[in-house]
Amino acid sequence: MTVTDEWISGWAGRMDALCSTFMERFASEFGYPPDENRVTRAASSATVEDLPDDLVTFYRRVEQVSFPDVGAGLFVHPEGRTVAGVRGGLPTRIAGSREDSVVVFGSDGGGALFALSATDGSTVYRLPPSRVEGDVYTAGAVPPEVVAPDLAGFLSLLERELATMI
């Protein structure tokens, strides 16, 4: 599914409501205060270059997602970090058991990266910690896995993860 501005806005609104409930219940559930869990809206709707269309649409509405208290942590990087990654700061190719060109746009608290296929513009991978040389991520003992068929599926996965924590 191709994401639209309206879909992203609806998703962000649902995430705000879930996050509010999550934050209210966190201390009583876990016995310590939560970190700052949030979906940060974009300050402007500047056009992003060098990214697949769905990420461009996402970053027009959302600056970043930070859920350090959901599972091991779930994060969608700010636009600037994602663009810097495309320009050499993060892997842009997967080698090994799976071959693809990718755009890394997120991570978890366990060292894995989330990447959108630049080849088809939709498949979302989870790249477990492994060797990265230059811009090439080489699959290790635990291979990359497809976690969602597209960015909308990945964002829906984040929504489900947060909902299970409430």
Q: Please check whether residue 133 is in contact with residue 145, taking contact to mean a CB–CB distance below 8 angstroms.
A: no
Domain span at 94: 5-164
Total number of domains constituting the chain: 1
| Confidence (pTM) | 0.93
DSSP 112-150: -EEEEETTTS--EEEE-S-EEETTEEE--SS--EEEESS
CATH code, 73: 3.40.1580
pLDDT 10s digit of each residue in the chain, 166 long?
Answer: 789 999 999 999 999 999 999 999 999 999 999 999 999 999 876 666 679 999 999 999 999 999 999 989 999 999 999 999 999 889 999 999 889 999 999 999 999 999 999 999 899 999 999 999 999 999 988 999 999 999 999 999 999 999 998 8
